[in-house]
Amino acid sequence: MLLSLTVVSDVLCVTVIQAQNGWGVTYTSTQICALKGSTVEISCTYTYPSRINDRDTTVQESFWFTQMNGDVPVDLRTDSEYAGRLQYSCSDNICTLRITDLRESDSVEYKFGFITNQPGGRFTGSPGVTLSVTGFQVQMSSSQSCKIYTCTWSQLKCLSSCRLPDQTSYIWYKNGQKIKEESSYSDYFYPPDSYSCALKGHEDFPSPSVCGHGQTCSRVTYTDRSICAFKGSSVNISCTYNSYSTYITSKFWFSPEHSLQWQNPSQPEDLSEDSQYAGRVQVLETERGRSTLRITDLRVSDSPAPISPPSHHANFALLNTRSINNKAPALHDLILDNTLDFLLLTESCQQPNDFFSLNQASPTGYNYICKPRPSRRGGGLAVIYNQNFQITELTLPSVSSFEYLPFKALSSMTVILIYRPPTKHFLPL
């Protein structure tokens, strides 16, 4: 999937004019910072003498380049590294280079040149425009060790060398699964878990995963997050992986797009056993910690399809826990024993920034959202859910007479968990 999102910041917004006897190139910016996977536009204007030696000047060729072949600039349109990602547009002596699906290898200096009908009538704007393509990095700060358990309380920030708006939204992932949409993320972090982030609307290009506690955790890093291939061709999808546990019981590739066909929606199924890929899938492991999925005879159906409402029903349960403390193992078993997709909890009595019991209660393949009562003891709401439902928390007007936690599952189901304390004279929250 190619993204059309443009995320660019001008590090140095200065007009630079390269002019000699009427010949010149003016770049809008000399330095541009852009995010990996985004789109950038590099613009300039150019001038030349309208007439030389009684001969009218006309432009025969204009181009952008980054390299020279001897004394001849190499037009970017002939560079295979930019195939399908370039667009030139020129009008009234204004030219723009548009590059989509930016890669870190695109971080070079770009120059504009043009050739006229005059003898020796060629000109290059030098120095040109320096493009820096960067991704995101997770930075851990405010770290504090847990007193009893092997964990760390930390705050994570999603950072980029590009200047972004102050109100930028980020998507946070735990073990590859979306968990939150916040500017920063705070939680208790345990040794097996890894975390990454991505710019909202730009989820195909997340940051590298970092361990929440210690230096060793379970994580998977994909070589490419977006691949375009022709129908009928073959494709290699590669990743590196490591495990917190020294012993890996199984490893396999799967497609979340096929989750509705699994016998258990919370248990991924090996792609090599999927009848749609019969005879077309091969897993290669040439070295420890690296895996490559090779799919041959590609079909249109191998591409991700828009998410549609699930054909299977969703199993809900509602429980007034009267404090989830010391009940986490029982809640964990309740979910698995009854194959619940959603366990809605009231009176969680969860303290703000205390997620230990919810982490314990959530089985593998499940996550949670929560809303502790901020100002008084007791109360609090939480939802433990099957990650295949891709939860999105909703924002509704605030109220003081009851607690509520609204969310949307996929795009077809809206749920609001409401709790009103059983008291005649209810104090505002």
Q: How far apart are CA 241 and CA 178, in angstroms?
A: 19
Q: How far apart are CA 199 and CA 406, in angstroms?
A: 23
SS3 106: helix
Which tokens belong to 48?
A: 């030349």
Average pLDDT, the chain: 82
What domains does the chain contain, in order, with CATH numbers? 8-134 (2.60.40.10), 135-217 (2.60.40), 226-305 (2.60.40), 316-419 (3.60.10.10)
> In the chain, how long is the greatest CA-to-CA distance?
97
Which tokens belong to 194?
A: 């890894």
Strands 391-393 vs 403-409: parallel, antiparallel or unpaired: antiparallel
Question: Does this model's pTM top 0.75?
Answer: no
Which tokens belong to 312?
A: 């299977």
Query: Which is nearest to 94 in space by CA: 80, 114, 77?
Result: 114
Which tokens belong to 356?
A: 């230990």
SS3 410: coil
Triad 264, 269, 270: Cα angle to 5°: 170
More confident residue, 285 or 351: 285
Of 61-70, 264-273, 411-420, the least confident: 264-273
Q: How far apart are CA 395 and CA 59, in angstroms?
A: 56
SS3 307: coil
Which tokens belong to 51?
A: 């007439």
Q: Please give the backbone phi and psi of residue 117, each rounded to the nearest 5 degrees, phi first.
A: -85, 0
Which tokens belong to 19?
A: 């002019």
Q: Are 146 and 153 in contact (CB under 8 A)?
A: yes
Looking at the predicted structure, is the pLDDT value of residue 168 above 60?
Answer: yes
How does residue 45 score in pLDDT terms, banded at 50, 70 and 90? very high
The whole-number pLDDT of residue 376 equals: 65
Half-sphere exposure of 83 (CA within 13 A, CB side): 5
For residue range 203-219, list pLDDT tens digits in order: 778 888 888 776 677 77
* Amino acid in position 76: L
Query: How many residues in total does the chain contain?
Result: 429
CB atoms under 10 Å from CB of 48, counted, come to: 20
Q: Are 404 and 420 in contact (CB under 8 A)?
A: no
Of 78-82, 212-216, 345-349, 423-427, the least confident: 423-427
SS3 17: strand
For residue range 378-399, list pLDDT tens digits in order: 788 999 998 777 778 888 887 8
Q: How far apart are CA 117 and CA 51, in angstroms?
A: 11
Q: How far is CA 102 from the centre of its chain?
A: 14
For residue range 289-321, list pLDDT tens digits in order: 889 999 999 988 888 754 444 445 788 999 999
